């Protein structure tokens, strides 16, 4: 999966979030990371031996980046089928993890 593809997917995801009045992208991103990997952004940096402030999406292994992108794409398409962004992310994370298992 190319970085351009993941960047476009991320832009679409944040655009959908903004249209649903969700503007705290950092908190949503940390929720995505916690649901997929059990760690927030800082925890992922530490687990991968990356310095503070490192752009995770440019540093994570390809499969991890693909998982994030799939989750965000799923939520962007299906957000209206859930009561909350948290529910959508939790459901999508389960689906992505099952798919990649």
Q: What does the alpha-carbon distance between residue 75 and residue 78 come to, in Å, rounded to a whole number?
A: 5
- What is the chain written as a DSSP string? --HHHHHHHHHHHHHHHHHTT---HHHHHHHHHHHHHSS-HHHHHHHTTPPTT--GGGTS-HHHHHHHHHHHHHHHHHGGGSSSHHHHHHHHHHHHHHHH-
- Domain coordinates in residue numbering, the chain: 3-100
| Res. 84: pLDDT tops 70 | yes
Residue range 64-83, pLDDT digits in tens: 999 999 999 999 999 999 99
96 class by beta-carbon count within 10 Å (0-12 exposed, 13-18 middle, 19+ buried): buried
CA–CA dist 35, 38 (Å, integer): 6
> Over 60: is that where the pLDDT of 1 sits?
no
How many other C-beta atoms are found inside a 10 Å radius of the C-beta of residue 21? 7
Quick one: what percent of the chain has pLDDT higher than 90?
84
User: What integer pLDDT is reported at residue 4 of this predicted model?
Assistant: 55
């Amino acid at each position: 999966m190319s970085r351009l593809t993941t960047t476009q997917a991320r832009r679409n995801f944040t655009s959908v979030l903004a249209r649903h009045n969700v503007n705290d992208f950092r908190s949503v991103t940390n929720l995505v990371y916690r649901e997929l990997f059990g760690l927030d952004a800082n925890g992922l940096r530490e687990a991968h031996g990356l310095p503070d402030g490192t752009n995770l999406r440019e540093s994570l292994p390809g499969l991890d980046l693909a998982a994030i992108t799939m989750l965000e794409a799923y939520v962007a398409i299906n957000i209206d089928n859930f009561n909350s962004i948290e529910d959508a992310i939790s459901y999508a994370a389960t689906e992505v993890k099952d798919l990649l298992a």
